Amino acid sequence: MIKNFFDKLIDKATGGHGRKRGGKRVELGPQAHGINPALVDERAVTVVRTLKEAGYQAYIVGGAVRDLLLGLKPKDFDVATNATPEQVKQLFRRAFIIGRRFRIVHVVFGRGREHEVIEVSTFRANVDNAHSEHVSGNERTAKSQLAGMKHAVDASGRVLRDNVWGTQEDDAARRDFTVNAMYYDPETRVLVDYHGGMQDAQKKRIRMIGDPATRYREDPVRIIRAVRFGAKLSRLGFTLDPKTAKPLQDGIALLAEVPQSRLFDEMLKLLQTGHAVASVEQLKKLGLARGIYPLLDVVVERAEQPFVKAALLDTDRRVGEGKPVAPSFLLACVLWQDVQAGWQQRLARKEHPFPALQAAIDEVFDARIGDVSGRGKLGGDMREIWMMQPRFEKRGGSSPFSLAEQPRFRAGFDFLRLRADVGEVDEPLVDWWQAFSQADDSAREDLVQQLRAEQQKAKKAPRTHQVKKAAAAPADQAQTAPESIVSDTHSEATDTAPAAPRRRRRRRKPGGNAAGSASPESEQ
């Protein structure tokens, strides 16, 4: 009776599409799937075993199963269960419920940098298959879960609410792609497949569960996920199924109804999962180079510029090596062109260099980022990276000591090094700062003294020749000589001007706190 009650409501809410994604449960043993148990993380096995011993269902799920089928050792392991988050939390000493809309549990093993998190989620159902008796228990509970369901799907078919617990079959149906909808029990070594995911994995095909156009209408963000998975798995030879790819271009208009903050987050996932370059190529290949999100349009447009391409490749490299990345660093690289242009315009109007740089940054935030994240921590980190760049040119007195102590010094230095890689600044400047960042206070004093001695020596011999040459140069040429945005405005050369009396700088006493612990492979 309850099932019929749900079926009627579901058919009415989804226009009759609710039953089209149901799959047939297929169980495959070790001989059929060939998964090597040695590739399974023992901590994931522990989570599954603990849940099963408590009387619950539990399986390794998602991308980890796909990778195991391909003979790869997964980086992350997720577990799906019919236990609620509260029930999961009670079984583990270090378990934390996170999330608001979708509550999941992080089970933590180890401490410090060596810790590992196994993510445990409860089987969920979309509104189109929310008939689960697992949660309902009785008709009253079922009715309360579907209260207001007539507003759970809007006129275009977009799902507005789907945070309902369900069965394993429900959970498989609400997942996006067949290769991510398989379940593996590491104890019995049984693989459960509802939608032909194993065959698709063998054929290296990324296929949407159900009708792709309907699934994109339900949640337009799936358009971006299709691009991301296509890029991520392209290195393994996977391609998007034609029926899955066909509605993508037409679906871009649906993204207008998605909150900007969610699109911003999805953009970062595209760029920070180790496949940024492949994601850009995938967007172009699928005809989605423009229209998903304005800032992503800028990334794609500038992806072939040397500085931006170097930043994308560097981000992919760091992710591949298991090193941390920060969105502030990559976005600072992408928008550096705009900051430079605005700064140069203000310098041409004789504005003071540092206020001019601050104003240029504000303008870029307003034009490119808006209120999504531009005024939060991400925006603050980007600002610090940009504001450090002219300060790297000033290596006299106490300036380098104070700069090296800045919290974002390592990110700012990485940015400088990337600029040197594309010829925007000189390599000797980067080499000096790398040596300075690794030295103790005494060695830092020596570096500053050596630099000063070299500058004094360099200005003596050529000074007479330079004066004669300047006197012989045409007046209009002297006035229109181009200025470097960083070097000529902020460089140490301003400290060696012959006519200006030198001020006595306060010297930092040896033995102060050194920031030289920053490694040469600095953190983005």
- Output 139-148 pairs: Cβ under 8 A, ≥24 positions apart: 139/1, 139/2, 139/5, 142/2, 142/5, 142/6, 143/5, 146/6, 146/9
The Cα 192–Cα 198 span in angstroms is 9
Cα–Cα distances (Å) from 232 to 178, 280, 431, in that order, read 15, 11, 35
- Torsion sign, CA atoms 267, 272, 278, 281: positive
The Cα 402–Cα 492 span in angstroms is 16
Place of tokens 């004669």: 468
The SS3 assignment for 233 reads: helix
The Cα 398–Cα 214 span in angstroms is 63
* Helix ranges restricted to H, 175-326: 197-203, 212-218, 222-234, 242-245, 248-251, 260-272, 276-285, 294-302, 306-320
What one-character DSSP code corresponds to residue 480? H
Catalogue the active-site residues.
76, 78, 176
Distance of CA 467 to the CA centre of its chain: 53
Considering only CA atoms, which of 281, 217, 285 is closest in space to residue 252? 217
